[in-house]
């Protein structure tokens, strides 16, 4: 019994094992089939995706080719533009470098100019310095006008008037021994340190600032010019140099000074003229001296014309005298020809016959020639200008 049960149990176990193996194999094959089918679906999907991507890449490649063909000329243009921009950048850099150098030079020049200006202001702060500057400017202007010292003008001439001893800076000579007196004392009190200090004291706190200083400086300058005009009018230069117009020329060595003074005080020029003082800047004085030089030229031409007229009259008188002498000489030559012909006639009629008879005696074998009479006469003056002289000469002869 027990054996049969064991055999039955073993057969059952084998059957169950066989069924389990069959069932496992079936399940494994189904799983492998499902996995294979899944792999196939994935492969087909991947192939489809790859095909789509390939078509997209081909389309992109075609578009890229078209873009390349279209962008090719633009690329060369962009390249040329890039080179041009690069060259311009280099030029701009070079210009900026040159501009920096010019700015440095300008700064150095400005510094030198400030130093020179400071030195000029320092030099002009003294009366002697301003006077020297005015005299130098005056000398340059008369040279530009073509005048010569000791001929057209004199400097530092000393004279005496009722007001005392005077010495103007320059005397301009005029035709007819006349003259014009020039004074080159430069009234520039507005440029000294005191004027600047006064301007700073009155204008530094005002709203205008620098404008206030300029107005104070201009007012100070006008006051200095008026004071100098008053001093010149009292010297009466025209009394010492006669004939001289009743005025003296006050030379201001800068056109800006006269313009500034006229703008600040419009009555300044008229008041100076009333006092016998003419305010002259370099441009106006140059015009005055050019006019004087022209008058000298006209005077020299007039003097030369008078000399030529006198020489012409003298030459005409001498020509008349010379004509009279020529006429007399011609008459003398005609008388000499007549005397010669009379001598020839006497020689032929009286001397030669005797000489021929002497030759016939055998003294000499040489034949005696016969002189010829002169038939020409001296040529007289036929021009109508010498008819009166010719008649006088003939009458005299």
What does the pLDDT look like over 323-348, one tens digit per residue? 888 888 888 888 888 888 888 888 87
Mean model confidence pLDDT for the chain:
75
Q: Which tens digit of pLDDT belongs to each residue from 169-214?
A: 888 888 877 888 888 776 655 444 444 444 444 444 444 445 566 6
Confidence of residue 282 (pLDDT cuts 50, 70, 90): confident
Distance CA 397, CA 387 (A): 15
| Cα 194 off chain centre by | 38
Identify which has the larger pLDDT, 330 or 362.
330
Mean pLDDT of 265-270: 87
Confidence of residue 98 (pLDDT cuts 50, 70, 90): confident
Predicted confidence (pLDDT) at residue 97 exceeds the cutoff of 50: yes
Confidence of residue 355 (pLDDT cuts 50, 70, 90): confident
Q: Quick one: pLDDT at residue 61? A: 76
Q: Which of 110, 394, 141, 105 has its CA nearest to residue 283?
A: 141
Predicted confidence (pLDDT) at residue 322 exceeds the cutoff of 80: yes
Three-state helix/strand/coil letters over the chain: CHHHHHHHHHHHHHHHHHHHHHHHHHHHHHHHHHHHHHHHHHHHHHHHHHHHHHHHHHHHHHHHHHHHHHHHHHHHHHHHHHHHHHHHHHHHHHHHHHHHHHHHHHHHHHHHHHHHHHHHHHHHCCHHHHHHHHHHHHHHHHHHCCCCECCCEEECCCEEECCEEECCCEEEEECCCEEEEEECCCCCHHHCHHHHHHHHHHHCCCCCCHHHHHHHHHHHHHHHHHHHHHHHHHHCHHHCCCCCCCCEEEECCCHHHHHHHHHHCCCHHHHHHHCCEEEECHHHHHHHHHHHHHHHHHHHHHHHHHHHHHHHHHHHHHHHHHHHHHHHHHHHHHHHHHHHHHHHHHHHHHHHHHHHHHHHCCCCCCCCCCCCCCCCCCCCCCCHHHHHHHHHHHHHC
Q: Is 245 exposed, middle or buried (0-12, 13-18, 19+ CB in 10 A)?
A: middle
Q: Quick one: pLDDT at residue 397? A: 37
Distance CA 263, CA 268 (A): 9
Report yes or no on whether pTM surpasses 0.75.
Answer: no
Q: Quick one: pLDDT at residue 105? A: 85
Predicted confidence (pLDDT) at residue 251 exceeds the cutoff of 80: yes
Mean pLDDT of 120-134: 56
Q: Quick one: pLDDT at residue 200? A: 46
Greatest mean pLDDT among 6-10, 24-28, 294-298, 374-378 lies in 294-298
Predicted confidence (pLDDT) at residue 34 exceeds the cutoff of 80: no
Q: Which tens digit of pLDDT belongs to each residue from 218-245?
A: 788 788 888 888 888 888 787 788 778 8
Q: Quick one: pLDDT at residue 176? A: 74
Confidence of residue 74 (pLDDT cuts 50, 70, 90): low
Predicted confidence (pLDDT) at residue 396 exceeds the cutoff of 60: no
Q: Do 161 and 235 form a contact (C-beta atoms < 8 A)?
A: yes
Q: Quick one: pLDDT at residue 30? A: 73
């Amino acid at each position: 019994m027990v054996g049969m049960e064991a055999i039955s149990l073993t057969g059952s176990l084998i059957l169950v094992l066989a069924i389990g193996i069959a069932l496992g194999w079936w399940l494994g094959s189904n799983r492998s089939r499902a996995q294979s089918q899944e792999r196939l679906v994935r492969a087909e999907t991947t192939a489809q995706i790859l095909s789509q991507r390939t078509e997209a890449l081909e389309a992109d490649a075609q578009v890229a080719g078209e873009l390349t063909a279209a962008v090719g000329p633009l690329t060369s243009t962009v390249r040329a533009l890039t080179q041009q921009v690069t060259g311009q950048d280099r030029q701009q850099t070079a210009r900026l470098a040159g501009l920096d150098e010019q700015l440095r030079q300008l700064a150095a020049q400005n510094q030198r100019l400030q130093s020179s200006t400071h030195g000029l202001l320092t030099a002009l702060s003294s009366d002697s310095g301003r006077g020297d500057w005015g005299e130098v400017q005056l000398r340059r202007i008369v040279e530009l006008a073509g005048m010569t010292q000791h001929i057209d003008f004199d400097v530092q001439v000393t004279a005496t008037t009722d007001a005392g001893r005077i010495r103007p800076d320059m005397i301009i000579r005029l035709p007819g021994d006349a003259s014009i007196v020039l004074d080159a004392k430069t009234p520039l009190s507005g440029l000294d340190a005191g004027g600047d200090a006064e301007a700073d004291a009155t204008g530094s706190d005002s709203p205008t600032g620098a404008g206030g200083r300029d107005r104070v400086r201009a007012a100070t300058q006008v006051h200095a010019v008026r004071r100098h005009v008053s001093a010149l009018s009292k010297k009466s230069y025209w009394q010492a140099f006669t004939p001289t117009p009743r005025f003296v020329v006050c030379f201001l060595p800068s056109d800006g000074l006269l313009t500034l003074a006229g703008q600040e005080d419009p009555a300044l020029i008229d008041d100076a003229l009333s006092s016998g003082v003419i305010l002259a800047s370099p441009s106006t004085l140059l015009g005055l001296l050019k006019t004087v030089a022209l008058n000298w030229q006209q005077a020299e031409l007039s003097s030369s014309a008078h000399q030529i007229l006198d020489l012409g009259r003298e030459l005409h008188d001498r020509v008349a005298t010379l004509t009279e002498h020529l006429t007399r000489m011609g008459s003398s030559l005609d008388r000499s020809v007549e005397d010669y012909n009379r001598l020839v006639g006497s020689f032929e009629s009286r001397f030669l016959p005797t000489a021929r008879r002497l030759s016939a005696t055998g003294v000499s074998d040489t034949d005696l020639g016969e002189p010829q009479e002169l038939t020409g006469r001296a040529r007289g003056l036929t021009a109508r200008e010498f008819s009166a002289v010719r008649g006088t000469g003939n009458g005299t002869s």
